[in-house]
Structure 1
Amino acid sequence: MANTESASRTLKGGEFIIKQTNAQDIFIPEDFSEEQRMMAETAQQFVQSEVMPLVERLDNHEEGLMENLMKKAGELGLFGVAIPEEYGGLDMDFNSSLLVTESVGSGHSFPVAFAAHTGIGMLPILYFGTEEQKAKYLPKLTTGEWTASYCLTEPGSGSDALAAKTKAILDVEGENFVLNGQKMWITNAGFADVFIVFAQVDGDKFTGFIVEKGYEGLSLGPEEHKMGIKGSSTRQVFLTDCKVPMSNVLGEIGKGHLIAFNILNIGRIKLAAACLGACKAVTDLSVKYANERIQFKIPISKFGAIRHKLAEQAIRIFAVESALYRCGHDIHNKEQELLAAGKNYNEAVLEAAREFAVEAAILKVDSSETLDYVVDEGVQIYGGYGFSADYPMDRAYRDARINRIFEGTNEINRMLIVDMILKKGLKGELDLMGPAAAVQQELMEIPDFGDEDTTLFAAEKKAVEKFKKATLLTAGTAVQKFMMTLEKEQEVLMYIADMAIQTYLAESALLRVEKLVGQGGEEAHARQLDMVRVIINDAADRINKAGKEAIAAMSEPGDEQKLLLIGLKRFTKLEPFNTKEARRRIAAEMIKENEFVY
């Protein structure tokens, strides 16, 4: 099978499912430089000192409050981490921008405004703007003098973004496009100076435009009443005979989909970074409260049920973090490779992000669902106080929910994960057929019961290897069964996506721990070893369940189904592992230090 081949280079996007990665080739959070850590600390201090004291006032939409915070963040250089120096930025690498996004992630509504500005607001101009557009807008956006917003969603077009009805017609003088339409759920709309707006030129050419706040015909609806992220500005944007100069067309006419979809690839992984930051903050609060809360004359942190929750919060965070910075560095490496091959900066960044769109979608799904888990258990640890608006879990719980909808719903992203992998295979970008055929052949052979490898990580590597086979087995069967109608089998696609997600997370965590142990020894990273073993143990069960659901959905009871289920069981069977004791050890470290320590 092809995935036994080691790689001494960055794999292609989606290639993790058929090949191995060397631990020394990946980036782990422990690799961040002192400069990068100082930038992250600046962002964290800003959130703690400037944002957190104002969260109640922000939720009440006190006039100018979020706008002033954004200006302060810009003045600190937080908006320009990955912006080229010629536009006032720091020109740091992609993982640095992810780290700063993570560092502001605990700020409730603030990271929503921050990410909308630095991601989907600024990046379309950076990557698709003309030199004149970049010179005009980026320096002001980088310093926080101006703020950006992104106008894609309409009342009748959410996930189906290209069905937008906003129209753009060139006036008789040929100097301006006249825009008419309505956008909704627009973050930062209340104080944005620049709006990235998508409209249909001549009714059918989906195109991007840069629209300034002062343009006649642009108006705003009132602030939306939302379940969470109340402090972020979310309004409708109305365009009524809004004149936009020809010079403000963004990219090519009729090519707006390239802007929308490419920016979403970056937006998804940045959302994962923000979710990660929020997860860590909530777990920190959970540990502190568990140590403070006395029941039956002892802190509740001494109870096994609470320790299980604290440990599981940490374990899931560890998996997301491992995958996030692995993917971020892969994007950076691909970008450098493309630059060396002669691509310009814009092409290199966009093509690198597009290459790892599968992994970005995986991260978007799992990070948002991990945050939902973490805040839910945070409420539970706080008990009745968790349900009180006077305690921090109330806001954290409500704010978390939007992330499963932002940047494409998790359902859409699950289907995209499988669709993008299969399309890479059809285009010849990934050799899926060979490995899938090898798995099918392996089902017909007697299992190899040779001498067991007892070296460190051998069992874990074998388990991840089998997870890949389970995913290929299920995906290959789905392709054979449904062929051209597979896209209609959304439930099956989501089962397969869950298998791929668990595989990528488990492998990322394993590679991180292997690299850590190689640097510092087994004893120094004993808790990380515990975490990766729990991750793999639980991934096996989740992959098995998703695989069984998929197989039952695409085969009738009989010999074929029985063979598939036997194969699935073979690829997800592990030796028993005492996860209870591992979780207790993981929780004990945090309880001892009275904070999230991993």
Structure 2
Amino acid sequence: METTENKKELLRGGQFLVKETKAEDIFTPEDFSEEQKMMRDSVKEFVDREIWPKKDEFENKNYALTEEVMQKAGELGFLGVAVPEEYDGLGMGFVSTMLVCDYISGATGSIATAFGAHTGIGTLPILLYGTEEQRKKYVPKLSTGEWFGAYCLTEPGAGSDANSGKTKAELTEDGKHYKINGQKMWISNAGFADVFIVFARIEDDKYITGFIVEYDKENPNGITFGEEEKKLGIHSSSTRQVFFNDTTIPAENMLSERGNGFKIAMNALNVGRIKLASATLDAQRRVTDVAIKYANDRVQFKTPIAKFGAIKLKLAEMATSAWVGEAATYRAAKMIENRISLRMENGESHADAELKTFEEYAIECSILKVACSEDIQNCSDEGIQIFGGMGFSADTPMESAWRDARIARIYEGTNEINRMLAVGMLIKKAMKGHVDLLGPAQAVGDELTGIPSMDKPDYSELFAEEKEMVKKLKKVFLMVAGSAVQKFGEDLEEHQQLLLAASDILIETYMAESGILRAEKNAKRFGEDQQKEQIQMAKLYLYHAVDTVNQKAKEGIASFAEGDEQRMMLMGLKRFTKYENMPNIVELRNSIAEKLTSENKYMF
């Protein structure tokens, strides 16, 4: 396990909103250790050899190829990066886990899904909730690729309500076995999995229970499968229904305690959400890279289309979203890694430290899942547009990238669910005293009724105005969410459109701040000239964030405030989203795009 880097204060989950984060305190991809760079390069070489050249085969539903690639990944140790060495894993920290997930997932969504399902929800529940006997029996085989894992939670009619499943587990008369009966759907890796994490209800329990179920083709034990699902994308990801008919398992194969299945499922989703964010990053890099090369090669009106302003706009925005997504994802990953290390230093077991930490940073996990899944969809959509008619053809990689990207907004809880969760969890943290929202929200309220300062701020230092703008965006969230909580109290969860608007303010603030902090940290250590385009990307993203926050805050305010209260809040919003020195975004885009096209690749 990689250790905590010096004794910095570690912000708790959600505290980014009310506490200042300094640039020197965040982790960025430029901070990768030599070991991590070697791991990254090994994964990239593996993908470029085993996956990228075979995209056509993956699109033609070659499920055997997916299994073969997963076995090779296991042999190289990629499936066991997060697994402690005592269970035949590499025992690396969470940043390294995210790094491998990032770079192995970019070439095709089929491998991204197979890898994520196996290393995440297929393995982690046993590692984090299993007994020592269960860990020793299953985890080494899963970490090396000898066995593959799948996760059976979703049922027909259950959807986002994970605890509403009807699959039953009945204890036999001798008390030594459970018989499982039921149906699961949308099960990734079902076609080649050896171990299933199955959730079922015992008697009339309020909550479901988790079980470890082995599958042997020679002795199927009442387990049957539906045909491979016909899907929009991820064509070579095995996705089947799984049926259990008196499937008998030893009683000791219960995972954790009776009725603990819902908690297992929710915590598994927290990990899956941030890993899904990382799984979109290299996809964005590759799509952007291919688009740059095509734009340089494609000549229209005797000019490479990369020279046209409309194409420069697209390339700059694609690169900016990818770069900011990296900043935010690895910022959170290091926070999680440091918190896990700190808990272990204080005597907690590895499993307990991870469980508590992922629960702690559930807000950030949801933020990243939403932001990055939507960024890869937008990126691939713009990639098709740059290719024009060729982008619509299956002969180019853009078409499959767009289709593969679409599932990311549904996986690990839909983006709508995650948006509402992010705000809901933050408010619950505030009520428990884990994040002080009340004091800062009251301060914003006092500021709204006070007399604005007429002093002209000093914005001579790099990012001085941008960091001040981020602070003001946080005030917008506190103003809108604080007023909404006061007005609706516990009934706030019934006002979903208001929660969605508040969530977008929260998401854009976190992402914009991450970009600013990454650019500032790197400008200080590498020089502003060397980081010119990165500084421009941070400013470009913030400009869009301010625009989004302004729009969503108006929408939210109008939904619950009237008269003088509404006027006061709208005046505050105008103050909080006003630039003193508005950036020339056309100039920013052109400069970023010209760097990309001159290098003929995504190089940041």
**How much has 1:482 moved relative to structure 2?**
1.1
**How much has 1:389 moved relative to structure 2?**
1.1
- Bigger mean CA deviation after superposition, 436-445 or 331-340: 331-340
2:586 to 571, 580, 595: 580
Residue number in structure 1 paired with 2:175: 174
Superposition RMSD in Å? 1.1
**How much has 1:57 moved relative to structure 2?**
2.4
Residue number in structure 2 paired with 1:17: 17
2:515 to 506, 509, 513: 509
- Runs of 4+ aligned residues of structure 1 deviating over 4 Å after TM superposition are none
> Hey, what's the Cα distance between the residues in 1 that align with 2:53 and 2:380?
20
8 Å contact from structure 1 (residues 207, 254) kept in 2: yes
Cα shift readout 1:376-430 (whole Å, capped 9, x = no counterpart): 0000000000011111111111110000000000000000000000000001111
Cα shift readout 1:157-198 (whole Å, capped 9, x = no counterpart): 110000010000101111110000000000000000000000
**How much has 1:54 moved relative to structure 2?**
2.6
2:465 to 459, 479, 485: 459
- Bigger mean CA deviation after superposition, 102-111 or 115-124: 102-111
> Hey, what's the Cα distance between the residues in 1 that align with 2:588 and 2:90?
42
1:367 to 372, 384, 390: 372
> Hey, what's the Cα distance between the residues in 1 that align with 2:378 and 2:269?
24
After the TM superposition, which residues 286-365 of structure 1 pair with which residues of structure 2 at under 5 Å, given as runs? 286-365=291-370
Residue number in structure 2 paired with 1:3: none
8 Å contact from structure 1 (residues 198, 207) kept in 2: yes
- Bigger mean CA deviation after superposition, 491-500 or 248-257: 248-257
Q: In structure 1, what residue type is equivalent to 2:126?
A: I
> Hey, what's the Cα distance between the residues in 1 that align with 2:470 and 2:273?
25
Residue number in structure 2 paired with 1:260: 265
> Hey, what's the Cα distance between the residues in 1 that align with 2:497 and 2:530?
43
1:549 to 555, 558, 564: 555
**How much has 1:8 moved relative to structure 2?**
4.6
- Bigger mean CA deviation after superposition, 394-403 or 103-112: 103-112
> Hey, what's the Cα distance between the residues in 2 that align with 1:311 and 1:338?
41
1:443 partnered with 2:448: yes
**How much has 1:521 moved relative to structure 2?**
1.4
**TM-score, structure 1 normalization:** 0.98
> Hey, what's the Cα distance between the residues in 1 that align with 2:573 and 2:84?
49
Cα shift readout 1:99-153 (whole Å, capped 9, x = no counterpart): 1111012121111101100011010111011111111111111111111000100
> Hey, what's the Cα distance between the residues in 2 that align with 1:51 and 1:560?
57
Helix, strand or coil for the counterpart of 1:243?
strand
Q: In structure 1, what residue type is equivalent to 2:124?
A: L
**How much has 1:12 moved relative to structure 2?**
0.8
Cα shift readout 1:356-377 (whole Å, capped 9, x = no counterpart): 1100000000000000110000
1:390 partnered with 2:395: yes
- Bigger mean CA deviation after superposition, 398-407 or 341-350: 341-350
Helix, strand or coil for the counterpart of 2:208?
strand
> Hey, what's the Cα distance between the residues in 1 that align with 2:529 and 2:64?
52
8 Å contact from structure 1 (residues 55, 231) kept in 2: no
Helix, strand or coil for the counterpart of 1:42?
helix
After the TM superposition, which residues 465-480 of structure 1 pair with which residues of structure 2 at under 5 Å, given as runs? 465-480=471-486
Helix, strand or coil for the counterpart of 1:178?
strand
Residue number in structure 2 paired with 1:192: 193
8 Å contact from structure 1 (residues 167, 203) kept in 2: no
2:531 to 525, 529, 549: 525
After the TM superposition, which residues 97-136 of structure 1 pair with which residues of structure 2 at under 5 Å, given as runs? 97-108=97-108, 109-136=110-137
Residue number in structure 1 paired with 2:208: 206
Q: In structure 1, what residue type is equivalent to 2:474?
A: K
Helix, strand or coil for the counterpart of 1:56?
helix
**How much has 1:461 moved relative to structure 2?**
1.0
8 Å contact from structure 1 (residues 589, 597) kept in 2: no
> Hey, what's the Cα distance between the residues in 1 that align with 2:229 and 2:75?
29
Q: In structure 1, what residue type is equivalent to 2:65?
A: L
Residue number in structure 2 paired with 1:413: 418
> Hey, what's the Cα distance between the residues in 2 that align with 1:235 and 1:105?
21
8 Å contact from structure 1 (residues 168, 203) kept in 2: no
**How much has 1:56 moved relative to structure 2?**
2.4
- Bigger mean CA deviation after superposition, 451-460 or 441-450: 451-460
1:540 partnered with 2:546: yes
8 Å contact from structure 1 (residues 551, 561) kept in 2: yes
8 Å contact from structure 2 (residues 63, 236) kept in 1: no
> Hey, what's the Cα distance between the residues in 1 that align with 2:121 and 2:392?
34
1:491 to 479, 493, 497: 497
**How much has 1:498 moved relative to structure 2?**
0.2
After the TM superposition, which residues 66-77 of structure 1 pair with which residues of structure 2 at under 5 Å, given as runs? 66-77=66-77
> Hey, what's the Cα distance between the residues in 1 that align with 2:601 and 2:40?
18
Q: In structure 2, what residue type is equivalent to 1:198?
A: F
Residue number in structure 2 paired with 1:139: 140
8 Å contact from structure 1 (residues 228, 395) kept in 2: yes
Residue number in structure 2 paired with 1:58: 58
> Hey, what's the Cα distance between the residues in 1 that align with 2:330 and 2:298?
35
Helix, strand or coil for the counterpart of 1:64?
helix
> Hey, what's the Cα distance between the residues in 2 that align with 1:203 and 1:407?
27
> Hey, what's the Cα distance between the residues in 2 that align with 1:62 and 1:529?
43
> Hey, what's the Cα distance between the residues in 1 that align with 2:377 and 2:49?
26
**How much has 1:483 moved relative to structure 2?**
1.2
Helix, strand or coil for the counterpart of 2:198?
strand
The percent identity for this pair of structures is 52
Residue number in structure 2 paired with 1:160: 161
Cα shift readout 1:325-361 (whole Å, capped 9, x = no counterpart): 0000000111111112211110101111111110000
> Hey, what's the Cα distance between the residues in 2 that align with 1:549 and 1:126?
44
Helix, strand or coil for the counterpart of 1:116?
helix
Q: In structure 2, what residue type is equivalent to 1:474?
A: V
**TM-score, structure 2 normalization:** 0.97
1:565 to 561, 565, 570: 570
- Bigger mean CA deviation after superposition, 112-121 or 43-52: 43-52
> Hey, what's the Cα distance between the residues in 1 that align with 2:87 and 2:570?
57
Query: Paired residues, what number?
Result: 591
> Hey, what's the Cα distance between the residues in 2 that align with 1:385 and 1:486?
47
> Hey, what's the Cα distance between the residues in 2 that align with 1:381 and 1:520?
33
* Unaligned residue ranges in structure 1 (runs of 5+): 1-6
> Hey, what's the Cα distance between the residues in 2 that align with 1:59 and 1:149?
22
Helix, strand or coil for the counterpart of 1:79?
helix
> Hey, what's the Cα distance between the residues in 2 that align with 1:115 and 1:497?
26
1:596 to 592, 597, 602: 602
**How much has 1:63 moved relative to structure 2?**
5.5
> Hey, what's the Cα distance between the residues in 1 that align with 2:161 and 2:193?
25
1:482 partnered with 2:466: no
**How much has 1:201 moved relative to structure 2?**
1.1
**How much has 1:450 moved relative to structure 2?**
1.7
**How much has 1:527 moved relative to structure 2?**
0.9
> Hey, what's the Cα distance between the residues in 2 that align with 1:415 and 1:42?
38
**How much has 1:317 moved relative to structure 2?**
1.0
